[in-house]
Amino acid sequence: MTSLQIEVKQLSKTYEGGIRALQPLDLSIGDGVYALLGPNGSGKTTFMRILATLLEPTTGTAHIDDLDIQRNRLEVRRMLGYLPQDFGLYPTLTVAEQLDYMAVLCDLGSVSQRKGAVDRCLQQVNMGQYANRKVGGLSGGMRQRLGIAQALLNQPRLLIIDEPTAGLDPEERIRIRSLLAELGGHGIVILSTHIVADVEATADRVCVLRFGVNLFTGTVDELVSRVQGKVWLLDVEPAELPAIKEQYTFTGVYRTQGGLQVRVLADEVAHTGARQVEPNLEDGYIGEVERARAAAAEA
């Protein structure tokens, strides 16, 4: 299978009422897992819905290989698998029936061809034993897995998944992360999340968005390296916490025996017992968001 390339140029979206969900955005996305990281309201879902041909951009273009996504919606949808953050399905159908319904919509052909696709997807998300269970009776995790299964029916070369692990228990989260990492080897997977651990576990490249503005685009290592030498671990008393909070940007607080351990971002730290540590993705992400916040405050 040839590799896929998405080119996004000056793509923006302003909703009715003047709400600017996405500022002009330029991105280049190749094969692998591409994570969109950002707080709620940062424009991740808007961007994904535009790529999924469900929303028209206000300005700009997006091409998948040579296909303009606005002019070639049908062709784009043929190569697309999409799972929105909040999705509903038909509760009275069984899991297998629901997937077959979606397979019909994907134009997968005869009953036997559709059945083959349904069985394959059920295996992929490890739901074979729930094929005859009603969709309305599924747990949150199983619903999410069913959502991913329906996105995989047409063996998409472009998979867009919005917050796939939100609300899942740790075991389910790990299962879905490993599935996404596996899928990244067969095309483009665009993953939106505000759970940094998901990105750490699966993504090849990251885009950090805030208020519709692209703050960073690059690999996970590049994002982490931007806060290299700026991450500190401090042992503090609980009473000290408010003062330290005023002074530094927190990236984590952990309870230890007899006190607290605080992870902060700073060029220098004037605190006894402070030690520099290796940064992780969460530090890098918060560093970018804080930098943007400071710049906005200055402006």
- In the bound complex, what is the minimum distance in angstroms from residue 108's beta carbon to other proteins? 8
Choose the binding region for other proteins from 6-14, 18-26, 79-87, 185-193 (rule: CB under 8 A).
79-87
Q: Which of residues 130-149 bind other proteins (CB under 8 A)?
A: 147
In the complex with other proteins, the residue whose CB is nearer, 20 or 73, is: 73
Q: Do 250 and 283 meet the contact criterion of CB atoms below 8 Å apart?
A: no
Q: Which of residues 195-234 bind other proteins (CB under 8 A)?
A: none
- In the bound complex, what is the minimum distance in angstroms from residue 1's beta carbon to other proteins? 19
- In the bound complex, what is the minimum distance in angstroms from residue 96's beta carbon to other proteins? 12
- Report d(CA 190, CA 34) in Å as an integer: 5
Q: Which of residues 1-60 bind other proteins (CB under 8 A)?
A: 49, 52-54
Taking residues 258 to 287 in sequence order and writing x for each that binds other proteins by CB under 8 A, - otherwise, the string is ------------------------------
Instruction: Tell me the three state secondary structure of residue 234.
Output: strand
Phi, psi of 229 (to 5 degrees): 80, 5
- In the bound complex, what is the minimum distance in angstroms from residue 106's beta carbon to other proteins? 6
Q: Which of 226, 221, 222, 263 is nearest to 241 (CA)?
A: 263
- In the bound complex, what is the minimum distance in angstroms from residue 78's beta carbon to other proteins? 5
Q: Which of residues 99-118 bind other proteins (CB under 8 A)?
A: 100-102, 104-107, 109-111
- In the bound complex, what is the minimum distance in angstroms from residue 233's beta carbon to other proteins? 43
- Report d(CA 151, CA 123) in Å as an integer: 14
Q: Does 97 bind other proteins (CB under 8 A)?
A: yes
Please pick, from the candidates 90, 120, 128, 295, the single residue that binds other proteins as defined by CB under 8 A: 90
Q: Which of residues 164-183 bind other proteins (CB under 8 A)?
A: none
What burial letters (b/e) apply to 113-135, b meaning 16+ CB within 10 Å? ebeebbeebbebbebeebeeeeb
What burial letters (b/e) apply to 262-295, b meaning 16+ CB within 10 Å? bbbbbeebebeebeeeebbbbbbbbbbbebbeee
Count CA atoms within 13 Å of residue 8 on its CB side: 21
Number of residues in contact with other proteins under rule CB under 8 A? 37
- Report d(CA 285, CA 203) in Å as an integer: 14
Per CB under 8 A, residues contacting other proteins are 49, 52-54, 71-75, 77-78, 80, 82-84, 86-93, 97, 100-102, 104-107, 109-111, 147, 150, 154
